Structure 1
Amino acid sequence: MIKLKHYLNGYLKLHLTGFSPERFFNMCRKHDIEVWNLECREDGYECAMTVDGFLNCKPLVKKSEVKVRIQKKLGLPFFLYRNRRRKLYFLGVFSFFLILYMMSLFIWNITLSGNYRYTSDTLIKFMNEEGIRCGMKKSQMDCDYLESAIRTEFPEITWVSAQVSGTRLLVKIKENDVLSSIPIKDQSPCDLVAEKSGVITKIIVRSGKALVKPGDQVEEGQVLVQGLIPITDDSEQVVAENPVHADADIFAATEYKTVRTFSGWNVLEMDTGRKRHGFFLQFVQSAFHFLPPKSQESKWKFTMEEHQLTLFENFYLPVYWGMIHGKEYNTYERPYTEEEKNDLKDKINIQFLENLREKGVQITENNVKIQENGLEFTITAWAAGEESIGAARPFTPINDTEEINKTDERSGNND
C-alpha cells in the first residue's frame, strides 16, 4: 500500500556525497522526512525520498554539508509529464480499459459442477436451447429461471444453484440418488409376447394363462402368456374370461451371430519424424491459425492445446489461444499377418460379447472363426445364451354385453 502511495504521488531517487551524510539522515528522521531504500555506495549513499521531503530538506543539506543530486524522477506524475504529448498512447490505454469494461458486461464462461448422471454437454445443450450461452449479456441472465428450468427438465436433479460471478456463470447441481416417488405399476390388461425367437428354458407365471412350456420353440411376436383367466362353472365349462395384466418370468435359449468382412491388405501408418509447430488465436468467433506451409502430398495429424484468457479467478475474456502440434505420416499396405488376424478376431469377439451382456444375455456358448476368401477374409462370431424374452403387448378385451348383442343380431332375435 505504501509503494502504491509513493507511485501515485511521485518520488525521487537521490545520490548523496559530502562531509556528514549520517547527520543528514538523522535530521531527516527528526523532521519526519521519509527516506527509504537507503544503500551505501563507494562514492556515497543512494536513497529514495518524496517530492515534498526533497523540497523541505534544503536547510538540512546546508547544516550537514552534503551534496544531493537527483538521479531519477519516478512515479505517476513524472510519467504523465514525460508522455504529455503522446496522445495516441493515452487514447490506446483508455480504449483498452473501455473494451475491458464492455467485455465485463457479458458471460464468457459457463462452469458446471456436481453433475454425474447428466453430462456437461447435455446440460450445456439444454441451456443453449433456453437462450443461455457464452456471449449473452449478464443483464439478460435470469438465474431463478435457469434453476427452475433445469429442475423441470431433469427430474433427477433436486437442487440447482446458478450465479454470475465476474464474466462467469457458475451452475452447481445436486442429483438425487434415491427415487423421489414410487412409480405406478401398470395394471392394464395385456399379453406377454416373445421379443425374439428361441427355445423356452424356464417360465414362471404370476398372472395370466401360459400358452407355452419349457422346450417349446417360439417365434418373435408369438403370444407366450395370455392376459385372460378363464372362469368355469360346475361342469368345467368356460362361461367367461377375466382380462388381467399378464406377469411372468420367461427365459429362452437364443442365438446371435455377427459377420465382419475385411480386405486382405492392412493399411498402416508410419511416422516420418517430421513435425510442425504453430499457434492459434481466437477472439469470440474469429480464429487465426499460424502454421508453417506443408507439402500437398504429405499427410499430417494435428493436436491442439486450448486456453482461455483469464484476468482474475472469475473474470474470463473471449480470447483463446494455444499451441498446434503436427506429425507427418505415410500410409502403406501389406497383407495381414496371422497374428494380426487373430488379434482382430479376438477384439471383434470381445466387443460382440460385451454388447450381448449389456442387453442382459447370459452367455452359455461362444465360437469365433476366420474364413479366407481370396483377397478378403471374414470373421464370424457366434454365441448362444439365455435371456428374458417376454414383452407386454396391450389388448382391448371384448365387452360381454356387446358380444351378446352381436350374437342376437346374427340369430335374428330382435325384441
Structure 2
Amino acid sequence: MIDQLMRYAKGYMEISIRSASYERFLNLCAYHEIVIWDLNYQDGFYEGKIFIRDFRKIMESARKSHTKIKILKKTGLPFWIREHKKRTGFFLGTIMCLVIIFTLSLFIWDIQIDGNVTQTDEVILDYLEEKEISFGSWKQKINCKELAAELRRQFDQFIWVSVQMKGTLLKIQVQENTDEISDTETLKEPSSLVAAKDGKIVEMITRSGKPMASVGDTVKKGDVLVLGQLEIKNDAGEVISHQTCAADADIVLETTDQYEAEFAMKYRQKVYTGNDKKKYYIQIGDHFFKTPWKGHSYQKYDVIDEKHQMKLWGSFYLPVFWGTYLVREYEIVEKRYTQEEAEKRAKKEFMAFSEKIQEKGVQIFKNDVKIVAGTSACRASGALILHEYAVNRVPLQETLDLEEGIQIE
C-alpha cells in the first residue's frame, strides 16, 4: 500500500518496448540504474512501468539498442497537477481546508455525558471547567485516565467512570450507586420500631427484636411494635437474660387518610394564532451570523431555538452550529370545562396522586373518593384506606419508659 502511494506521488508511465535486442536494452537500463517493474511479454513486445525521472534517461539506452519506446498511459500526482494547473485556486483552497480540519481535530468540540442520575450535566460540566476542560480545550492536555479518577473522587455516587476521546468528542460514561442501604447494614446502636401513625397491623414479619404487637392489633402513633432486645433462654426454655439489638421487621399498617382536591371550572389556555416569524443563523465559535428580519410586534409569544452542531463524520464534531429562531404568537383564551372534561381531569389528578404515594410504598386498599363538578369548581374528596410501612425507628432508651419489666444487659 505504501509502495503504491509512493509511486503515485512520484508519477509513472506504462510503456511498450519493441527492440531487436531486448537483452542489450535491459542491460543498459540496469547499468544506468533505471527501474522497470511489472515487465510482461505480449504479442512480440514488452510492457512495463517506469518512473518519470527514469523515462528521461531511458531514451539514450533505447537509441543505442535500436529500441522503440511508446507511452501507453500516464499515472500519478505530477500528471494530475499538470492537467488541472488552471485550477490553482481550487487546489490552494483544498489544502487550506485540510489544514483547518487538521487544526480543528486537535481540540474538543463536544462533550457528552451518559449514565448520570443524581448529578446533572451542568454540575459535571462546571467541575470540568474548573479543571480547564471545556468546549475548545486542547486534546493533548486531557489525560482520560486521570480525569476518570478525579471524577470518581469528586462525586462519591460514581462507582465507575469511563472517559474517552473519539475524534473531537469527549465522551464521559458514569455508573452511579443508587442502591439503598438497609438499616441492618448501617445501624449499630440498639433501637426499636414504633408506629408512625394510628392504624391496624395487617402484616408483620420480625427478623430481629422482640415483637410487642401482632397482626390484627390496633395501635396508636408511638406504640412500640418491635423492641430492640433478644431473649436468651436456657435449655428449659426459661429467659435468663436479654441482649440489645437493632430491631428489624417488615410491618404493614392499615391507616386512614382523607383525599381533598379542587380546581376552578374556568381556566386560561394558550392558543397559537398561526403568526410566526423565523430567523436562520450560523454560529462559528462565539460569532453569530443571522439572516435579517424586520422583527415582530407580538405582545405574547414563545421563542423556539432549534440548534444543530456540524460534524464531518462519526465523532468528528466542529465548532460550527446552525439553527433557527422561531417566534410564535399566542393568545390567552378564557375557557370552561364541561362536566365530562372536569371529571376526566379530576380522575387524572387522583391517579397521579396514587402513583406518587405508591412510589413511597403506600398502597390504596380502598377509596371512597367522589367527584362533584359544580358551577364554579370541581371537587374530589373522600376517605382512603391505606396499607403502608408506617413505622419509625427510635433509640432503645426512649422505649424503656413505655414498656415495663424489661431487663437490658
TM range (shorter): 0.5 to 0.7
Question: Would you say the 8 A contact 2:158–2:174 is kept in 1?
Answer: no
2:209 alignment partner in structure 1: 208
Question: Would you say the 8 A contact 1:208–1:227 is kept in 2?
Answer: yes
For 2:230 and 2:119, locate their aligned partners in 1 and report how far apart those are by CA, in whole Å: 50
Deviates more, 1:368-377 or 1:161-170: 368-377
- Going from structure 1 to structure 2, the CA distance change for 1:162 and 1:124 (only over 3 Å counts) comes to farther
Mapping 1:96-245, distance limit 5 Å = 100=101, 102-112=103-113, 115=115, 118-119=116-117, 122=120, 125-126=123-124, 128-130=126-128, 131=131, 132-150=133-151, 153=155, 157-158=159-160, 160-171=161-172, 184=185, 186-213=187-214, 214-219=216-221, 221-229=222-230, 241-245=242-246
Question: Would you say the 8 A contact 2:342–2:378 is kept in 1?
Answer: no
Question: Would you say the 8 A contact 1:305–1:322 is kept in 2?
Answer: yes
Q: After TM superposition, give the deviation of residue 34 of structure 1 in Å.
A: 6.2
Matched, 1:330 2:331: yes
2:367 alignment partner in structure 1: 366
Q: After TM superposition, give the deviation of residue 155 of structure 1 in Å.
A: 6.6
TM-score for the superposition, normalised by structure 2: 0.62
Matched, 1:270 2:271: yes
Q: After TM superposition, give the deviation of residue 192 of structure 1 in Å.
A: 0.8
Q: What does the per-residue CA deviation read over 1:86-143, in whole Å, with 9 as the maximum and x for residues that have no partner? A: xxx97x9998666655533321112456x4xx35974673354143433322122111
- Going from structure 1 to structure 2, the CA distance change for 1:147 and 1:295 (only over 3 Å counts) comes to closer
Question: Would you say the 8 A contact 1:107–1:137 is kept in 2?
Answer: yes
SS in 2 for 1:305: strand
Question: Would you say the 8 A contact 1:345–1:368 is kept in 2?
Answer: no
For 2:233 and 2:119, locate their aligned partners in 1 and report how far apart those are by CA, in whole Å: 60
For 2:323 and 2:336, locate their aligned partners in 1 and report how far apart those are by CA, in whole Å: 40
For 2:355 and 2:361, locate their aligned partners in 1 and report how far apart those are by CA, in whole Å: 10
- Give the letter for the 2:329 counterpart: E
Q: After TM superposition, give the deviation of residue 266 of structure 1 in Å.
A: 2.1
- Give the letter for the 2:86 counterpart: F
Deviates more, 1:252-261 or 1:95-104: 95-104
For 1:311 and 1:255, locate their aligned partners in 2 and report how far apart those are by CA, in whole Å: 63
Structure 2: gaps spanning 5 or more residues? 12-67, 400-409
1:306 alignment partner in structure 2: 307
- Give the letter for the 1:216 counterpart: T
Q: After TM superposition, give the deviation of residue 144 of structure 1 in Å.
A: 0.8
For 2:285 and 2:383, locate their aligned partners in 1 and report how far apart those are by CA, in whole Å: 53
For 1:375 and 1:368, locate their aligned partners in 2 and report how far apart those are by CA, in whole Å: 20
Q: After TM superposition, give the deviation of residue 197 of structure 1 in Å.
A: 3.8
Q: What does the per-residue CA deviation read over 1:299-323, in whole Å, with 9 as the maximum and x for residues that have no partner? A: 3344443211113433212221123
Q: What does the per-residue CA deviation read over 1:9-53, in whole Å, with 9 as the maximum and x for residues that have no partner? A: 9xxxxxxxxxxxxxxxxxxxx8645679xxxxxxxxxxxxx9989
Question: Would you say the 8 A contact 2:10–2:78 is kept in 1?
Answer: no
Matched, 1:389 2:397: no
TM-score for the superposition, normalised by structure 1: 0.62
Matched, 1:348 2:349: yes
Q: What does the per-residue CA deviation read over 1:353-408, in whole Å, with 9 as the maximum and x for residues that have no partner? A: 1112212222211233345676344333653221222333334699xxxxxxxxxx
Question: Would you say the 8 A contact 2:110–2:135 is kept in 1?
Answer: yes
SS in 1 for 2:312: strand
For 1:123 and 1:222, locate their aligned partners in 2 and report how far apart those are by CA, in whole Å: 46
Q: What does the per-residue CA deviation read over 1:47-92, in whole Å, with 9 as the maximum and x for residues that have no partner? A: xxx9989xxxxxxxxxxxxxxxxxxx952x4334xx7xxxxx97x9
For 2:348 and 2:287, locate their aligned partners in 1 and report how far apart those are by CA, in whole Å: 43
- Give the letter for the 2:255 counterpart: T
Aligned residues, how many? 329
2:39 alignment partner in structure 1: none
- Give the letter for the 2:385 counterpart: A
Mapping 1:23-102, distance limit 5 Å = 32-33=70-71, 75=84, 77-80=85-88, 100=101, 102=103
- Going from structure 1 to structure 2, the CA distance change for 1:187 and 1:172 (only over 3 Å counts) comes to closer
For 1:137 and 1:186, locate their aligned partners in 2 and report how far apart those are by CA, in whole Å: 49
- Going from structure 1 to structure 2, the CA distance change for 1:173 and 1:187 (only over 3 Å counts) comes to closer
Deviates more, 1:296-305 or 1:248-257: 296-305
For 1:111 and 1:268, locate their aligned partners in 2 and report how far apart those are by CA, in whole Å: 37
Matched, 1:357 2:365: no
For 2:121 and 2:166, locate their aligned partners in 1 and report how far apart those are by CA, in whole Å: 19
- Going from structure 1 to structure 2, the CA distance change for 1:353 and 1:382 (only over 3 Å counts) comes to farther
Q: What does the per-residue CA deviation read over 1:144-199, in whole Å, with 9 as the maximum and x for residues that have no partner? A: 112334555467755x54332332223456789999xxx94645311112334433
SS in 1 for 2:277: strand
> Percent identity between the aligned chains?
28
- Going from structure 1 to structure 2, the CA distance change for 1:184 and 1:120 (only over 3 Å counts) comes to closer
Q: After TM superposition, give the deviation of residue 253 of structure 1 in Å.
A: 0.9
For 2:86 and 2:294, locate their aligned partners in 1 and report how far apart those are by CA, in whole Å: 48
- Give the letter for the 2:124 counterpart: F
1:60 alignment partner in structure 2: none
SS in 2 for 1:135: coil
Question: Would you say the 8 A contact 2:265–2:342 is kept in 1?
Answer: no
Q: What does the per-residue CA deviation read over 1:235-258, in whole Å, with 9 as the maximum and x for residues that have no partner? A: xx9997532221222211123444
SS in 2 for 1:134: coil
For 1:51 and 1:126, locate their aligned partners in 2 and report how far apart those are by CA, in whole Å: 52
For 1:120 and 1:108, locate their aligned partners in 2 and report how far apart those are by CA, in whole Å: 25
